[in-house]
Amino acid sequence: MKLKKEVSKTNHTEKFLKEKLIFSGRYKESRDLLEVLLEEKQEYCFQEVDSCINEFLKRKVN
């Protein structure tokens, strides 16, 4: 039986502008939040965006 090797497509970290991330299917549920958290003209990788979302959601509410 042959085992298939999993090839990681994320050898390099792709970065995207705010507009592309907001309209991507991956962040469909977080569009409003990303509109506020991300800056225009700055590029972000998925890991950075996920980190921003998680930090915001974990903040203490007063």
Whole-model pTM?
0.74
Residue 56 has pLDDT above 90, yes or no: yes
Residue 13 — pLDDT band, cuts 50, 70, 90? confident
Residue 11 — pLDDT band, cuts 50, 70, 90? very low
Distances, alpha carbon 57 to alpha carbons 5, 11, 43, in Å: 36, 28, 21
